[in-house]
Amino acid sequence: MTDVIVLNGGSSSGKTSLARALQRLLLPTPWLTLSIDDLIAALPASGGGVDIGPNGEVTVTAAFHTLERAWSVGVAAMASAGAPVIVDDVFLGGSDSQNRWRSALDGLDVLWVGVRCAPKVAVSREAARGDRVAGMAARQAELVHEGVTYDLVVDTTVGPAEECARRIVAHMG
């Protein structure tokens, strides 16, 4: 039985909508959804170790990586205690990011899902959202998948969140 579903995709790729659709389809078992945005929202407004440049480039410091590691271990502890978790993340470090999660989730049954979205569509979603720095979606669309291995890849460009979520649930058996 799957303990953790990790969704990795760039900004505005549809991860959060997909996570919510998964929660609806996986009922009656309640699944927690935890996002890298939750961790970033918990950081102090300045000095949290995440800097977003004027063109959407994201830079993180060693201090952030320390907090991120602690957060992922906490997520793993929740899953180990019996709370199934959907992780909504952006692997800015590609395979290094995945390896950090692999280490934290060791011993758990994890489903790795790549969430793809055509850059032009992600950019359009980014503009419509209004809560992201322009350029972030375009920069991250391919970067976050470099060197990452998945059990399943879904494309939110061509399928709505519910359809992609059904594919994930079917893959889980």
How many distinct structural domains can be found in the chain? Answer: 1
Residue 11 is predicted with a pLDDT of 94
Mean pLDDT of 133-145: 91
Domain housing 35: 4-172
Structural tokens at position 59: 């830079």
DSSP 141: H
Q: Is 109 designated active site?
A: no
Whether the per-residue pLDDT at 52 is higher than 90: the answer is no
Whether the per-residue pLDDT at 48 is higher than 90: the answer is no
List the CATH number of the domain containing 134: 3.40.50.300
CA-based angle 57:140:155, to the nearest 5?
160
**Of 3, 37, 51, 89, which is the active-site residue?**
37
Could you tell me the pLDDT band of residue 129, with boundaries at 50, 70 and 90? confident
Strand ranges (DSSP E) for 11-100? Answer: 32-35, 50-52, 58-60, 85-89
Could you tell me the pLDDT band of residue 168, with boundaries at 50, 70 and 90? very high
Burial of 76: CB neighbours in 10 Å, binned 0-12, 13-18, 19+: buried
Q: pTM to 2 decimals? A: 0.94
List pLDDT tens digits, range 100-125.
999 999 999 999 999 999 999 999 99
